[in-house]
Each structure stands twice: as C-alpha cells, then as structure tokens.
Amino acid sequence: MVSTKSATDTNSGLQYLPKSTERDKEISPNQELLPLTAKVNNLDHLEIGGWDVTTLVQQFGSPLYILDEHTLRTACRQYRDAWKNYYPGESLVLYASKAWSCLAVCAICGSEGLGIDVVSGGELYTAVQAGISPDKIYFHGNNKSQTELILAIETGCIIVVDNWLELKTLANLTNEKKSQLQSPIKIMLRFTPGIECHTHEYIRTGHLDSKFGFDPNQLNDVFTFLTEQPLLSLIGLHAHIGSQIFEVQPHQDLANVMVDAMAKAMAYNLPIKEINVGGGLGIRYTESDDPPSIEAWIQIISKAMVDACTARQLPLPKLLCEPGRSIIGPACVTAYTVGSEKQIPEIRTYISVDGGMSDNPRPITYESLYRVVVANKLSASLTETVTIAGKHCESGDVLVKNAMLPVTQPGDCLVVMGTGAYNYSMASNYNRLPRPAAVLVGNNEVNLIIQRETYEDLLRQDTLPTRIVIVEDSI
C-alpha cells in the first residue's frame, strides 16, 4: 500500500477530498463530494477505501463502480443513532433500495440494523435473499401486480397500499387465502400530503398532482372500508414529499399532516402505530449544493413530530424514514478510461470515456450535474474546460458539461463522484453495452459484488425463431 498525503489545492482535484476523516460522527457523508476515505497517495493517485483507483481499474476493468463500505456504514449509523438521540419514541430506518438494490448493499444496511424499502417483486426477492427479516421489509409501489402482492403476502412483509385497486385486490386475496393466513396482513396506507418541494419535476411526489398514493380526501372512505376487513391490519400511514431536497420546512409541515391523518384513523378505531415520513434528503453533487446534515434532518423531523403529537394529545408513533440517495449516493464513484478527444475551435472540446448513459442515465434524464477528477493526476492544475461524453450513439450522451480538468491523455482514469444512487439501478444495455462491474472496498479488502456482464450475458434471454428465411439480393 502506498502512502497518502493531504493537500488543500483549490485548483486541482485535491479540492474535492473530504475535510477530515478523524471524527466521522461529525461528518455527514451527504455533505461530501467524495467518499469519506478518499485520499491522494504519493503517486498522485486517488485512493478510496485504502485502494488506488487506477489499480482497481487495471484489475477489474472500466467502467467500474467503486463502493466505499466505510462511507456506506457511516451514513447508516448516523441515521440510526440520530433517531435514538432525538426521538423519544421507537424508530426504524429503512434503506430505499430503489437507489441501488443488490445483495451486498442490502446485506450491509441490514447488518447496521436498517430495514429495507422495496418497490417491486425483484427488489423484495433481493432483500429476502440478502437476509433481511420480512418484518423489516416494506413493499411500496403504485401498480403492484397480483403476482407481486401474493409474493408479499407469502413473504410476510409490510405492504404499503397505494390505491383503491390494490386495496380491494388485497382484500380479495386475503379472503381467498384466509385458511392459510396465521394472522391478518399488515399494511400501511400511502397518501399525498399536498406538500411541494423545490426539486426536479420528476422527483416530486408529495404534491397532489402525483401518481403516488391516495388523495387525502379519500381517507375517510378508505378508513371505512378497512373497518370491514378483519384480515387487513392497518398499522401505519406513509407519505413522501420528494427527492434531493435541501429544504427543512416541508418536513416540518409533513409532521402536522401525518399526525392529523393518524388522529382521523383513530376515530375509526384503527390503531395506527407507525408513521413513515419518507426520505428525500439531498446530497452534495457539486460545490454549490448545501444539503442539511443527516443529524440535522432527523433532529428537525423528530421535534416536529413530538410537537405535533403533543399539541393533539396523541401518543408518539413508531417513526420510520426511508432514505436511499443520502445513504448510498456519496459512498460510490464510477471510474472510466479516457479515450478520444474532439476539439471544436471556439465552441468546446469533447473528451470521451468508455461508458456513459448506459451506466449513468441521470444527466440525460434529469439534466443532473456531477463533478469529476482525473484519478491518476489528482494534484495537477485544472487548465482545461471540457465536456465529458459517453460512447453511445446518442448526441445527448454527455456525463458532465464544462468540466474543469488537467490536460488528459487516452488511458487516463477519470472518476465521476456521487454515483451510488440511481446509476447501477437505472443502468441499461443500450447499444448492447454490458453493464459494469462493482467492487466493495474496505477493511483492507476488495470484494467483487457485481460481476461485469459479458456479451454472452447480453444474449442469455435471446431466442431465434425456429425458421429464418434469408432473402438473397439478386444480381
């Protein structure tokens, strides 16, 4: 292992290194651009988890997702411990696995005491196979199939009911299977609280014009229906106001909305024991991003919930939250190999890498911004403004516009920060590119947690018709 050094050069990649790693409890991972273990070694290379990024690329190829176990566990612990410190009632943190669902990530979160939030049969299956107890798995989704609902019933997880069709389907299924049920099916209700946040239109989920959840005006009818369903046990209420949120006021408003709904349910003799306030805490993708810390976010929600319950003379519910991005996003980077360059005088310079929109679709989908460094020359001065382009046959396949970099050469290792959330989970095989590998670094180990797809993998589900007629051109 090569030695590391510290520096504060603000005209190089060194400016992106974490402020300190001596007292991690005071550092909120969502406020850092690079994983907490990021350092520069005496070769002027970026290290993560004690491993030279260029060495990892040499061994595992690129593009490569590099997940820092220490940063991931730190975020889990900060969420878990902050609830214990600030909320006097019972609490549970659920990892929103849609951000990145795989066996290793679910298992690590589970080992830190977190439950798992899933939104499909595939994510449910992954969580179970990772060893998560069903009573700590919460199944979301606005259009669960009957097959998925049956799987959820058989698994024994909590089902977060999103709409009338789902509620009535569940009622029918439980009546059909009443002889096989040992106890009522535990459900929560999701409703839209009517709270908007200043975030991307596609990731606002709390305002009334949203595909998610019951309209709040439907709650009385829903509660009446549930009083007639002895095989469905309503244990809680759920609402989620969006994603990549930096504001705190919406979360304070949400507490009052949720407690009012809890009081309404209790009037129907429905004993609400849990309230899930969703997730949505933002992370720092660029220098201008300034999200609250994990601890501050929890402290604000805890006080708002206690105040709301106290004002209405109601007992404190078990309080749940479901962060995804702020747990996994800052813990991962993606390493690429630099390829071709195209200079367009007085317009821009394109630097192409060996991945792109198939391993990170967020820039082309959400116009998301990222920061980059050249991992094999971290302290080199930033002298060029370039656009980082992917290799796909798509003009919009651009990872970063106007990136400040040192002079690059083909073969350099370029690292995009903050790629743990919605990168692998949204990856595709566009242009028949195999999806990248992922490694977990930490505890002086490197573990391959997702194998790189091969060309054979791309054809694994393909079949040819039994008869193919090839028409030859006539001369």
Q: What DSSP string describes 302-336?
A: HHHHHHHHHHTT-PPPEEEE---HHHHGGGEEEEE
User: CA–CA separation, 438 vs 450, rounded Å?
Assistant: 5
User: CA–CA separation, 16 vs 34, rounded Å?
Assistant: 7
The answer, yes or no, to whether the previous bond of 315 is cis (omega within 30 of 0) is no
User: CA–CA separation, 121 vs 98, rounded Å?
Assistant: 12
Q: Of the listed 102, 197, 321, 393, which one is catalytic?
A: 393
User: Which phi and psi angles does 41 have, rounded to 5°?
Assistant: -100, 180
Q: Are 171 and 222 spatial neighbours (Cβ–Cβ below 8 Å)?
A: no
Strand partners of residue 337: 413
pLDDT tens-place string over residues 326-341: 999 999 999 999 999 9
- Residue given tokens 């290379």 in the structure block: 45
pLDDT for position 9: 62
- 418: region left, alpha or beta (phi > 0 left; psi from -120 to 50 alpha): left
* Residue 155: count of CB within 10 angstroms of its CB: 17
Question: DSSP per residue over 96-145, as a string?
Answer: EGGGS--HHHHHHHHHTT-EEEE-SHHHHHHHHHTT--GGGEEE--SS--
CB contact set of 11 (below 8 Å; sequence gap of 6+): 381, 382
- Residue given tokens 């049969």 in the structure block: 121
Sign of CA dihedral 294, 100, 105, 289: negative
- Residue given tokens 């709301």 in the structure block: 308
H/E stretch holding 373: strand 372-374
Tokens standing for residue 322? 């479901």
Strand partners of residue 137: 116
Q: Are 127 and 463 spatial neighbours (Cβ–Cβ below 8 Å)?
A: no
Is 393 in the active site?
yes
User: CA–CA separation, 107 vs 471, rounded Å?
Assistant: 53
User: CA–CA separation, 236 vs 226, rounded Å?
Assistant: 12
pLDDT for position 475: 54
Q: Are 174 and 230 spatial neighbours (Cβ–Cβ below 8 Å)?
A: no
Farthest-apart Cα atoms in the chain, separation: 89
User: CA–CA separation, 48 vs 63, rounded Å?
Assistant: 16
pLDDT for position 20: 62
User: CA–CA separation, 144 vs 142, rounded Å?
Assistant: 6
CA 305 to chain centre: 25
At 219 the three-state DSSP class reads helix
For the full predicted model, state whether its pTM sits above 0.75.
Answer: yes
Q: Are 358 and 313 spatial neighbours (Cβ–Cβ below 8 Å)?
A: no
pLDDT tens-place string over residues 67-124: 999 999 999 999 999 999 999 999 999 999 999 999 999 999 999 999 999 999 999 9
pLDDT for position 205: 45
pLDDT for position 211: 81
User: CA–CA separation, 389 vs 396, rounded Å?
Assistant: 9
H/E stretch holding 457: helix 455-458
Strand partners of residue 441: 68, 446
pLDDT for position 177: 84
Average pLDDT, the chain: 91
Domains, the chain, in order of start with CATH, read: 140-323 (3.20.20.10)
End-to-end CA distance of the chain: 66
**Strands 115-118 and 137-139, sheet pairing:** parallel
In 344-428, which residue ranges form alpha helices assigned H by DSSP?
362-366
- Where b means 16+ CB within 10 Å and e means fewer, 360-375 reads bbbbbebebebbbbbb
pLDDT by residue, tens only, the chain of 475 residues? 444 444 456 789 999 999 764 555 579 999 999 999 999 999 999 999 999 999 999 999 999 999 999 999 999 999 999 999 999 999 999 999 999 999 999 999 999 999 999 999 999 999 999 999 999 999 999 999 999 999 999 999 999 999 999 999 999 999 988 878 889 999 999 998 876 544 433 333 444 567 878 888 899 999 999 999 999 999 999 998 877 887 777 778 889 999 999 999 999 999 899 999 998 899 999 999 999 999 999 999 999 999 999 999 999 999 999 999 999 999 999 999 999 999 999 999 999 999 999 999 999 999 999 999 999 999 999 999 999 999 999 999 999 999 999 999 999 999 999 999 999 999 999 999 999 999 999 989 999 999 999 999 999 999 988 877 777 775 5
User: CA–CA separation, 419 vs 64, rounded Å?
Assistant: 11
Q: What is the 3-state secondary structure (H, E, C) of 167-203?
A: HHHHHHHHHHCCCCCCCCEEEEEEECCCCCCCCCHHH
